[in-house]
Amino acid sequence: MTAAESIQALIKQHQGRFSVELGINLSSGRSREIFKWFLASILFGARISESIVKKTFREFASRDVVSPKAILDTGWDGLVAILDQGGYVRYDFKTATKLLDMCKALTENYQMDLSNLHSAAADPRDLEQRLKSLARGIGDVTVNIFLREMRGIWEKADPLPSDLVVMAAKDRGIVPELMKDRRKILDLLRKSWKKAGIRIKSFSDFEAALVRAAIEARRKKQRRPGK
């Protein structure tokens, strides 16, 4: 199977962007939608099941607690209650504090708008650092999840492929097993995606599908006897 055929099979088998699944319209470029995806990315960044993350985000959305002001107005106790209702119990205290700290920093430094943070960043690496500096506990995983689906929306959103993306791309023969350089892997993924010619999806959909494939493969491996 060629890389193009492997990509076409991947897209048929797996959903694309997680933001689309959550009803977040990043393509609009609106600050409110971008913040909603950053909130979801923070939730996805913990070692907790995908289903709990989705349920918890929808709990925030149903209560309209999806803006910096709403989060600050809700307060620590209110945030813990929302997190617990969504099943995000293991990380509820820590995450409530992280969300409040993030929103305070966003308010004080960027007028409550992540787009202002993007404008202030000098380059893609500075953008990543500014996002991580918003609150303790916002690390590489969260920032990668967020920026992966901001490609093409923010000019400076250009994260290197995550471990899950690389794993799935190698498993499916899209990337050579011995290739290690993440920048070269990203370049090869872009070229392979372009060659596959799937116009109804974006490169971000391709990356998200690789993530989903890697998560599914890991689950299957864990379910095997003796694992």
Residue 177 in any domain: the answer is yes
Domain finish residue from 74, 109, 142: 142
CB 68 within 8 A of CB 35: yes
For residue 96, pLDDT over 70 is answered with yes
Residue 56 in any domain: the answer is yes
According to the model, what pLDDT value does residue 1 have?
81
According to the model, what pLDDT value does residue 110 have?
98
User: Which one, of 153, 224, 211, lies nearest residue 13 by Cα?
Assistant: 211
Residue 149 in any domain: the answer is no
Clarify whether residues 62 and 135 are in a common domain. yes
User: Which one, of 195, 116, 189, lies nearest residue 159 by Cα?
Assistant: 189
Clarify whether residues 189 and 207 are in a common domain. yes
Domains: count for the chain: 2
For residue 226, pLDDT over 80 is answered with no
Tens-place pLDDT, residues 194-208: 999 998 889 999 999
For residue 222, pLDDT over 90 is answered with no
Residue 36 in any domain: the answer is yes
Clarify whether residues 10 and 31 are in a common domain. no
Clarify whether residues 31 and 73 are in a common domain. yes
Clarify whether residues 37 and 126 are in a common domain. yes
According to the model, what pLDDT value does residue 190 have?
96
Clarify whether residues 68 and 127 are in a common domain. yes
What is the domain-level CATH number for residue 120?
1.10.340.30
Residue 7 in any domain: the answer is yes
Residue 155 in any domain: the answer is no
User: pLDDT category, 39, cuts 50, 70, 90?
Assistant: very high
Domain hosting 205: range is: 3-17+161-223
61: number of Cβ within 10 Å: 16
According to the model, what pLDDT value does residue 219 have?
84
Residues in the chain: 227
Clarify whether residues 27 and 114 are in a common domain. yes
Query: Crossing angle, helix 50-62 and helix 31-44, to 10 degrees?
Result: 140
Residue 92 CA, chain-centre distance (Å), reads 19
Average the pLDDT over 157-180 and give the result: 96
User: pLDDT category, 224, cuts 50, 70, 90?
Assistant: low
User: pLDDT category, 10, cuts 50, 70, 90?
Assistant: very high
Tens-place pLDDT, residues 114-151: 999 999 999 999 999 999 999 999 999 999 999 999 99
Clarify whether residues 195 and 104 are in a common domain. no
Clarify whether residues 13 and 30 are in a common domain. no
User: pLDDT category, 227, cuts 50, 70, 90?
Assistant: very low
Report helix, strand or coil for 151.
strand
pTM score, whole prediction: 0.94
Average the pLDDT over 58-84 and give the result: 98
Report helix, strand or coil for 154.
strand
Clarify whether residues 101 and 171 are in a common domain. no
Give the whole-number percent of the chain exceeding pLDDT 90.
90
According to the model, what pLDDT value does residue 25 have?
97
Residue 26 in any domain: the answer is yes
Domain finish residue from 112, 142, 172: 142
For residue 209, pLDDT over 80 is answered with yes
Clarify whether residues 8 and 33 are in a common domain. no
Clarify whether residues 185 and 129 are in a common domain. no
